[in-house]
Amino acid sequence: MRSPDSWVVVGLDNGATSNNATVLDASGRFLVDRLVETPSLVQEGPDVAVEALVQALDHILEQTGTARTSVRALGLDTPGPASADGVISSKGATNFSQPAWHGFDVRGALEDRLELPVVYNNDANAAALYAHHVHFGPDAGSYSSISAVVGTGLGGGVIEAGRVVRGAAGMAGELGHVHIPMQGLLDEGQPLPTCNCGFAGDAESVASLTGIERNLLPYWLTRFDGHELGRVQPVAEAAKLVRDYGERGDPLALRIFEQQAMALGRLFTIAANFIDPSTYFLGGGLSRRRRTSATGSRPRCVSTRHCVRNRRP
């Protein structure tokens, strides 16, 4: 038996502009307590980006004084859509717009390059897994959870008995594209919100930054004539300011967040009827600074990128 400190696993989180890396020893201890970022270079195509992942690995090993020979395996996450095994969607993805990415097996490419086992999850599932294990600790294998991550879109993850439910095609936990009831959520005369995916009335069409930009802000500006945000162009920039307005109690922003909260509540109700998880987590950029919640509990930041809060202890 090798001693627990004789080998490590490395986690690589791939994003639009940066890779973030960490190291975990065999006893489950993180050797890094901060963001360690290097450029991800995803816009330059898969060959350059895979080399950037290798550089992220070498950089974190150097930072932690760890030899490459001590690395037993890597965990990789990227934004989706991708297959359960890390093949980027053949139809492309927001982060992987270059045609060479379409259908590219990023997990397999990194594994071949490093000659080390690479385990893949999409970033929302990785965040869900992390929240679950931090919250439940050694008992993680005995519980289930659902995570919703509200950001540009609405990502999610389903954890059962401590493991990610990936689904046959990697689509499990795509909570953003679940249809939710709109009756009683929409204002009278408010158009049915639409989503990038082609659906109308799904969770992401309301509970995401894109939903604010595309649906909620344009509508509510018609009901708050002369509001300052109507003069901010383009509307994408105005959408990003809604959170700050909400923190200051702005009535328009509060109507938007009220609708988002209702959408998330309805989404979790559907989740309850499907799998009845032990716990619900809510996180992401949109929720990060909302410190005054209905329950009065403070958000619990359990991940470097995703701030996750337990909604039903």
Question: Interface with Zn ion by CB under 5 A: which residues?
Answer: 177, 195, 197, 199, 202, 204
Q: Which two tokens stand for residue 193?
A: 């919100």
Report the C-alpha gap between 138 and 1 in whole angstroms. 22
- Write the burial class of residue 157 (CB in 10 Å: 0-12 exposed, 13-18 middle, 19+ buried): buried
Neighbours of 74 (CB within 10 A): 21
For the CB of residue 211, give the shortest distance to Zn ion in the complex, in Å: 9
Question: Which amino acid is present at 260?
Answer: Q
Give the nearer residue to Zn ion in terms of CB position, either 77 or 204: 204
Angstrom CA distances, 52 to 69, 105, 110, 121, 153, stand at 19, 16, 10, 18, 25
Give the nearer residue to Zn ion in terms of CB position, either 100 or 197: 197
- Write the burial class of residue 53 (CB in 10 Å: 0-12 exposed, 13-18 middle, 19+ buried): buried
For the CB of residue 204, give the shortest distance to Zn ion in the complex, in Å: 5
For the CB of residue 186, give the shortest distance to Zn ion in the complex, in Å: 16
Give the nearer residue to Zn ion in terms of CB position, either 70 or 259: 259
Give the nearer residue to Zn ion in terms of CB position, either 81 or 277: 81
For the CB of residue 201, give the shortest distance to Zn ion in the complex, in Å: 9
In the numeric block, the tokens 């689904």 are attached to: 167
For the CB of residue 42, give the shortest distance to Zn ion in the complex, in Å: 23
Question: Which amino acid is present at 303?
Answer: S
Q: What is the per-residue burial (b if ≥16 Cβ within 10 Å, else e) of 229-244?
A: bbeeeebeebbebbbe
Report the C-alpha gap between 269 and 169 in whole angstroms. 24
Neighbours of 38 (CB within 10 A): 18
Q: Strand, helix or coil at 145?
A: strand
Report the C-alpha gap between 294 and 22 in whole angstroms. 34
Give the nearer residue to Zn ion in terms of CB position, either 111 or 174: 174
For the CB of residue 226, give the shortest distance to Zn ion in the complex, in Å: 32
Give the nearer residue to Zn ion in terms of CB position, either 170 or 246: 170
For the CB of residue 3, give the shortest distance to Zn ion in the complex, in Å: 49
Which residue's CB comes closest to Zn ion?
195
Give the nearer residue to Zn ion in terms of CB position, either 111 or 202: 202
